[in-house]
Amino acid sequence: MNTNNIYSKDWCNQLFEGKTKSYGAYELRINAAKRTTYGMIIAYVLAASFVIGSMVYENLMSIVRLCRKNYSKPL
């Protein structure tokens, strides 16, 4: 089994040896790991924002319900 990292520059150079590197596939292959990392970071940040936002929303709504309950009592 070949243990080469398919994202390494040496492996990409072997793959594109004798082929044109100017049409974009070489650059996509070289930068794939970085793009994947950025994509995962963005996905985690969005998921965390959604979870935290929903928690904050629920806490605010419970405070609003409590205030409405306390102010709706007759004097």
Given a cut of 80, whether residue 65 has pLDDT beyond it is: yes
Q: Cα–chain-centroid distance for residue 40?
A: 3
Residue spans of the domains in the chain: they are: 9-71
Residue 11 near residue 2, CB atoms below 8 Å: no
Integer Cα distance of 54 and 42 in angstroms: 18
pLDDT tens for 27-62 read 888 888 899 999 999 999 999 999 999 999 999 999
Q: What is the reported pTM?
A: 0.64
34 in Cβ contact with 42 (< 8 Å): no
- How many beta carbons lie within 10 A of that of residue 66, not counting itself? 10
